[in-house]
Amino acid sequence: MTRTRLIAALVMAPLAIAAILLLPTPWFMALAAVVFLGGLWEWFDLADVSDNLARAVLLAANLALMVALVWASRSAAGFSFVLLQLVSVLGVAWWLLALLWLGRYDFASDPDSHARAIKLAAGTMSLVPAWCALAWIHGGADPNSPRWVFVALGIVWAADSGAYFAGRTLGKHKLAPRISPNKTIEGLVGGVLAGLVAGLGLSLFAGASLAQLPWIALAIVFAVLFSVVGDLFESLLKRHAGVKDSGHLIPGHGGILDRLDGVLAALPAFAVAKAVLGF
């Protein structure tokens, strides 16, 4: 399994890096929308929506919301990111609520219409703010803005790998045994350290100064911790649905949502922290 995961990562990573660094923001966001909506399609399975017509309508509604946000951000003076920034802040607030949800395992666990509606709303609140945060970071005035997207994603990738290997070699104390039995506190620490090392190195590539590194480190820790919440939240939904993976599209990695879970929470957290801390 580790070999399969590595091969899949070696194929996906160069494509993702090329898209981040080479595509103009509108084209990059269109591509990101396709990927995010693919993840949302898998989310519908976790929310117990099996009817394809209903899924198509729900997917179209979320796409319409994305388009409406872009349309409402246009003006005669040019494109304004204010609305996307506001949605990103709402995304951070949502993930704090999701953290409370993690403490109540049985909440919305029954497959009824009430639970389904809550999980569908959670899907929109997870994916749309992350997409807005991605646009906010990538489309900034700084010529190196696309590189900051690379930083934001790189810390999640590094933290995920660091947590995986630290957990396998050192893990003894369970982090959330009922939600994800394989995750450990040692893995969490290893993930934070790996995210810090990768993020600080990548931030220099993005043009950060040495004086900014302490603030960037704070933002990295903030984003990595949020990514853990996103990862655990998807694990909670999979436990409710009785499945191991959200899909089977990516060999060794499961579905699209299995690769996006931590990213969805980390992107708004990193974008807001970056703005507040001023780097």
Residue type, position 38, single letter: G
Phi and psi torsions of 174, nearest 5°: -70, 140
Query: Given this model, what pLDDT does residue 75 score?
Result: 85
In angstroms, the CA 102 to CA 177 distance is 12
Number of Cβ atoms within 10 Å of the Cβ of 85: 19
Query: Given this model, what pLDDT does residue 2 score?
Result: 55
What SS3 class is residue 65? helix
30: tokens are: 């269109």
In angstroms, the CA 23 to CA 18 distance is 8
pTM: 0.92
Residues in contact with 153: Cβ distance below 8 Å, sequence separation at least 6, in sequence order: 16, 20, 263
What are the pLDDT digits (tens) for 54-108?
Answer: 999 999 999 999 999 999 999 888 899 999 999 999 999 999 999 999 999 889 8
Residue 1's pLDDT band, with cuts at 50, 70 and 90, is: very low
What are the pLDDT digits (tens) for 140-168?
Answer: 888 999 999 999 999 999 999 999 999 99
Q: Is the pLDDT assigned to residue 7 strictly greater than 90?
A: no
3-state helix, strand, coil in the chain (%, to 5): 75, 5, 20
Q: Is the pLDDT assigned to residue 253 strictly greater than 60?
A: no
Residue 5's pLDDT band, with cuts at 50, 70 and 90, is: low
Strands 174-176 and 180-184: antiparallel
Query: What is the separation of C-alpha 50 from the centre of its chain, rounded to a whole number of angstroms?
Result: 24
Average pLDDT over residues 123-133: 98
Q: Of the spans 77-91, 105-119, 244-258, which averages the highest pLDDT? A: 77-91
Q: For the chain, how many helices (H) and strands (E)?
A: 9, 4
Q: If we measure between CA atoms, which residue out of 108, 102, 72 comes closest to residue 87?
A: 72
CB burial of residue 173 (10 Å; 0-12, 13-18, 19+):
exposed
